[in-house]
Amino acid sequence: MMEQPLTIVSWPKAILHVDADAFFASCEQAVNPALKGKPVVTGLERGIVAAASYEAKARGIKRGMRIGEVRRLCPEAIILPSDYETYSIFSIRLFEILRRFSPDVEEYSIDEAFVDLTGLRRLYHSSYEEIGRNIQGTILKELGLTVSIGISLTKVLAKIASRHRKPAGLTAIPGREIHLYLKDLPVSEIWGIGPNTSAYMKKLGINTALEFARKDEAFVKRHFSKPFQEIWHELNGRSIYPVNPEEKSVYKSISKARTFTPPSGDRNFLYAHLSKNLEDACRKARRYNLFARRIILFLRTQDFRDEALELRLTRPSAYPEEILPLLRKGFESLYKDGTLYRQTGIILGELVDSKSSFQLSLFEEPLRIERLERLYTVIDRLVERHGRGILFHASSFDAYFQKQHEGERGTIPSRKTTPLKGETLRRRLGILILK
Q: How far is the CB of 11 from other proteins (least distance, A)?
A: 23
Contacts of 189 (CB under 8 A, 6+ apart): 160, 163, 209
Find the largest Cα–Cα distance for the chain: 69
Residue pair 249/288 in contact (Cβ under 8 Å)? The answer is: yes
Closest by Cα among 318, 281, 321 to 298: 281
Q: How far is the CB of 302 from other proteins (least distance, A)?
A: 39
Nearer to other proteins (CB atom), residue 28 or residue 45: 28
Residue in 55, 107, 112, 279 annotated catalytic: 112
d(CA 118, CA 106): 14
Buried b (16+ CB within 10 A) or exposed e, 387-422: ebeeebeebbebbeeeeebeeebeeebebeeeeeee
Q: How far is the CB of 83 from other proteins (least distance, A)?
A: 14
Sequence letter at residue 146? T
Contacts of 318 (CB under 8 A, 6+ apart): 282, 285, 286, 290, 291, 292, 348, 376
Nearer to other proteins (CB atom), residue 269 or residue 288: 288
Q: How far is the CB of 361 from other proteins (least distance, A)?
A: 35
Nearer to other proteins (CB atom), residue 125 or residue 141: 141
Nearer to other proteins (CB atom), residue 205 or residue 422: 422
d(CA 150, CA 108): 14
CA distances from 345 to 122, 147, 270, 337 (A): 50, 33, 10, 18
Nearer to other proteins (CB atom), residue 37 or residue 387: 37
Q: How far is the CB of 279 from other proteins (least distance, A)?
A: 30
d(CA 210, CA 203): 16
Nearer to other proteins (CB atom), residue 3 or residue 247: 247
Q: How far is the CB of 95 from other proteins (least distance, A)?
A: 10
User: Which residues lie near other proteins (CB under 8 A)?
Assistant: 31, 33-34, 36, 93, 96-97, 99-100, 103, 141-144, 245, 247, 420-422, 429, 431-435
Task: Give the burial class of 338: count Cβ atoms within 10 A of its Cβ; 0-12 exposed, 13-18 middle, 19 or more buried.
Answer: exposed
Residue pair 52/39 in contact (Cβ under 8 Å)? The answer is: yes
Q: How far is the CB of 220 from other proteins (least distance, A)?
A: 37
CA distances from 125 to 100, 122, 169, 186, 319 (A): 16, 5, 22, 36, 54
Q: How many residues does the chain have?
A: 435
Is the backbone of residue 47 left (phi > 0), alpha (psi -120 to 50) or beta?
left
Q: How far is the CB of 434 from other proteins (least distance, A)?
A: 4
Q: Where are the alpha helices (DSSP H) in 236-348?
A: 267-287, 320-334
Nearer to other proteins (CB atom), residue 49 or residue 89: 89
Closest by Cα among 192, 187, 228, 176 to 209: 187
Is 177 in the active site? no
d(CA 411, CA 417): 10
Nearer to other proteins (CB atom), residue 314 or residue 418: 418
Active site residues: 112
